[in-house]
Chain A
């Protein structure tokens, strides 16, 4: 069954290492800017890689609501931006009909880091119960600040979480549980997460090079992106600006391994195919793929195989880009940031490049956009997201 009601995007908001507004973000991304550098918030002396994509400290200081974890602040700010962009004033809609859903990998757990590492910690200094044991805050706090009382949830499908939140919002609208949904993804870099990826020896030393023959791994990033979703008839009735459409989505479980993708791309293939089928589209309708593209040997090879399998010969005509080359892996925020970028790609018919893509890998036989942004007539974008424990969610986005 496909998406019946037409679901459109009427607002966007971004907090990222490449800009703290949607337009700043897009200006940087479309220019091929890279937000990766030396990590400054943590002691990285014991790590194989000292680099990642941090949101600059001055942007953190500029954030309002400094009494809550960074991820909560960013989710709230991105949601505020998206709501403002959608002109969704506080009193315009029934507050019980506007909901919020963010996807995340680590939730609010970074607050644990500071406390555990504080030699003077005590029960009294333990972060308030809200901060680290209630990941639901990531959606509840934006709802609280915006006055939205509709469906509210946080989805944790690992690195597919941003796309899963988009799907959650689309379903809420499809089933008439809401009239508007603010959806997105968010995560911050935490020291514990760095240690985990360091233990996998999965961190690239210098750059993230998705699909490149010399790729050496990923780098962690952080940030938040939010979108306002509405049913098209409602959006048009109130004269909302439409940025694009959510045409289809598919969540599957790879059921293979806790970290490695199925070697034949079983889950990825099925998710992409189902998302397209639910959008009422076939392979030749895909104009662009915004890849998951982490830069790890395993992920990129399997993803390339899966894209080839799904698109067949048409894959030769489909430009592919991987924004983690610029943004690092923003974990739960990644696919939401990539979704916003995909919408802007279709708005401007401009595909951002994959940074540091230099040496094609025969095992990744795709048309990778490299060097500089590429012009094209992009009406439909397939955006992929794959996570640990086999969580996969692919989304098909369309032009306005």
Chain B
């Protein structure tokens, strides 16, 4: 079977580092965590707040046209900002593409949760049974993807994947399949997560300062972040036909889930599967963008998997040390940053990392390093023992219309 691939022509990232990809990569290269850490209160009760790293929605609003701002949730706001940046980055004018030939694939986990809770609260507490009909549809997981489709008039495939931190890889795989099957010429692959105040009661609070320490010997758990990320994926022909500039190629993806609570096994399966799908040589792997977030067990499992499949010497960075655990947005953010890394030929350091856990055999970046080989691996995982991997390379050769 001919390998299914996709061309990345634009990226957009909204994190605590800022509203654009340059801010994010520059921030990571500095080695510092994103500066926008604030407390988010729980709702409706005064339970322990948690610290979130992410852009203030008010700041995200400023980046969008006012016509897009009515009755919009924080997650849709963030997704809009990332998607618009990706389209601008790709220099794609939506007027130049047939609406039926561009689609959307979004990864999320909490989209709509806050609206869901508030609708319930209002309807029951006020005993009227009436909640605002304009807010009801925003309770859906698919609201950000659907809203994006309406705003951009994308009439191609539109799907929302709920696969936790692996969802972005899932969305990427869906998009690649859509391009390969000629169901679309372009797909916006996105991830978005804004931590819902209602969910705070159910999330583990992070004691002490917001400082996740991926792979570090003294790590003591993840910390949370809001994020949005978008990648414009195109077929090679479509990109060439419109005079687009290919930035990188997604060579293959794979996802896995362990039914036996074996995260390391799932990660090995995903990494191996992605490499096999990509037909890329292991010797060509120059970096790994890991999903490590400071979790004691999770980081260890990932480290062992990376060491097993890629080897202990592949430079590995974990961006969640800088942006926090942003669950369903993480993998697309990792992939977007991998594109920037490929272009700049530099691998960012891992914010928060100082000393490697002695049980791990891994080369974790603690300063910017040169990217010496072309293949970059993106690996994502979550605590439910799901894992996913994507293989990226620079775009090789001239775009062709064939």
Answer yes or no: do A and B interact. Answer: yes
Contact residues, A152-182 vs B (CB, 8 A): 152-158, 164, 168, 171, 175-177
A147 at the interface (CB under 8 A from B): yes
Give the docked Cα–Cα distance between A104 and B112 (Å): 13
A151 within 8 A of B: yes
Q: Check B121 against A389 for contact (C-beta < 8 Å).
A: no
Q: How distant is A198 from chain B, measured CB to nearest CB, in Å?
A: 5
A152-B137 in contact (CB<8A)? no
CB contact between A152 and one of B1, B4, B155, B163 (< 8 Å): that residue? B163
Chain B residues near A198 (CB, 8 Å)? 123, 129-131
The verdict on B99 contacting chain A, using a C-beta distance below 8 Å, is yes
| Assembled-state Cα–Cα distance A91/B184 (Å) | 38
Kindly count the residue-residue contacts between A and B in the assembled complex, taking CB atoms under 8 Å apart.
Answer: 247
Measured CB to CB, the nearest residue on chain A to B126 is A46
> In the complex, how many residues of chain A place their beta carbon closer than 8 angstroms to a beta carbon of chain B?
85
Complex partner residue of A153 from B45, B136, B255, B384, CB under 8 angstroms: B255
Please, which residues of chain A bring their CB within 8 A of the CB of B120?
Answer: 112-113, 116-117, 191-192, 195
Rounded to whole angstroms, the CA-CA distance of A155 and B113 in the bound complex is: 16
- Residue of B4, B139, B142, B201 near A157 (CB, 8 A) is B142
Cβ A164 vs Cβ B1 within 8 A: no
Grouping DSSP codes into helix (H, G, I), strand (E, B) and loop, the B interface class, with mixed when no group exceeds half, is: mixed
Which residue of the partner chain, among A116, A133, A153, A389, contacts B163 with CB atoms under 8 Å?
A153
Nearest chain B residue, comparing its CB with the CB of A196: B136
List the B side residues contacting A140 at CB < 8 Å.
Answer: 257, 384, 386
- Which residues in B have their C-beta under 8 angstroms from that of A116? 44, 117, 120-121, 198
Counting chain B CB atoms within 10 Å of each CB, which of A122, A134, A135, A196 scores highest? Answer: A196
**Contact of B201 with A152 in the complex, beta carbons under 8 Å:** no
The answer for the CA separation of A255 and B99 in the assembled complex, in Å, is: 9
B258 touches A199 (CB 8 A): no
**Do residues B140 and A158 form an inter-chain contact, with CB atoms below 8 A?**
yes
Q: Which residue of A lies closest to B204 (CB)?
A: A129
B60 at interface by CB-CB < 8 Å: no
Contact code string B363-383 (vs A, CB < 8 Å = 1, else 0): 000000000000000000000
Complex formed: what's the CA distance from A253 to B106 in Å? 13
Q: Which residues of B contact A199 (CB under 8 A)?
A: 123, 130-133, 136
Q: Are A109 and B113 CB-contacts (below 8 A) given A1-B182, A389-B147?
A: yes
Q: A109-B113, A112-B116, A135-B109 are in contact. Are A259 and B137 (CB under 8 A)?
A: yes
**B299 CB, nearest partner CB in chain A, Å:** 18
Task: State A151–B183 Cα separation when bound (angstroms).
Answer: 21
Interface band, chain B: 35 or more
A143-B181 contact given A155-B161, A259-B137, CB 8 Å threshold: no
Is A57's beta carbon under 8 Å from chain B?
no
Chain B residues with CB below 8 A from A387, complex form: 142
* Residue numbers in B under 8 Å from A152 (CB-CB): 163, 255-257, 386
Q: Provided the pairs A107-B141, A117-B124, A140-B384 are in contact, do residues A132 and B202 lie with their beta carbons within 8 angstroms?
A: yes
Per the 8 Å Cβ criterion, residues 318-368 of A in contact with B are: none
The answer to whether B259 touches A47, judged by C-beta atoms less than 8 angstroms apart, is no
Establish whether residues B386 and A136, one from each chain, have CB atoms under 8 Å apart when the complex forms. Answer: yes
Within B264-283, the residues touching A (CB, 8 Å) are: 265-266, 269, 273
With contacts A252-B155, A253-B154 known, is A389 near B149, CB below 8 A? yes
A46 to B127, Cβ gap below 8 A? Answer: yes
The verdict on B92 contacting chain A, using a C-beta distance below 8 Å, is: no
User: Which residues of B have CB within 8 Å of A151?
Assistant: 255-257
Cα–Cα, bound, A94→B78 (Å):
41
- State A121–B200 Cα separation when bound (angstroms): 13
- Residue of B119, B140, B156, B167 near A388 (CB, 8 A) is B140
- The answer to the question of A68 belonging to the interface, with a C-beta cut-off of 8 Å to chain B, is no
User: Please, which residues of chain B bring their CB within 8 A of the CB of A157?
Assistant: 142, 158-160
A126 within 8 A of B: yes
The one of B133, B158, B259 in contact with A252, judged by C-beta atoms closer than 8 angstroms, is B158
Asked if residues A258 and B146 are in contact (CB atoms below 8 Å), the reply is yes
The reply to whether A149 and B149 contact each other, CB–CB distance below 8 Å, is: no
Chain A residues lying within 8 Å of B116, measured Cβ to Cβ, are 106, 109, 112, 192
Q: CB within 8 A of A46: which of B123, B136, B201?
A: B123
In the complex, the answer to whether A389 meets B386 with C-beta atoms within 8 Å is no
Cα–Cα distance between A47 and B152 once the two chains are bound (Å):
36
Of listed B1, B154, B170, residue having the most chain A CB within 10 A: B170
Residues of B within 8 Å of A126, CB to CB, are 201-202
B203 within 8 A of A: yes
Which 6 pairs between the two chains have the least Cβ-Cβ distance?
Answer: A389-B146, A46-B129, A253-B158, A196-B136, A156-B141, A152-B257
Question: Can you name 5 A-B residue pairings with CB atoms under 8 Å?
Answer: A149-B260, A155-B160, A198-B129, A388-B146, A390-B150
A: which residues have CB within 8 A of B?
Answer: 1, 43, 45-48, 95-96, 104-107, 109, 112-113, 116-117, 121-123, 126-137, 139-140, 143-158, 164, 168, 171, 175-177, 191-193, 195-201, 250-259, 266-267, 270, 274, 387-391
Instruction: A109-B116, A151-B256, A158-B146 are known; give 19 further A-B pairs, CB within 8 A.
Output: A96-B256, A105-B141, A116-B121, A121-B201, A133-B199, A134-B164, A136-B164, A140-B386, A149-B258, A152-B386, A153-B162, A153-B255, A157-B158, A192-B120, A192-B139, A251-B183, A253-B155, A255-B149, A391-B159
B→A interface (CB under 8 Å): 1, 4, 44-45, 47-48, 99-100, 103-104, 109-110, 113, 116-117, 119-121, 123-124, 127-133, 136-143, 145-147, 149-150, 152-164, 167, 170, 174, 177, 180-183, 198-199, 201-204, 254-260, 265-266, 269, 273, 384, 386
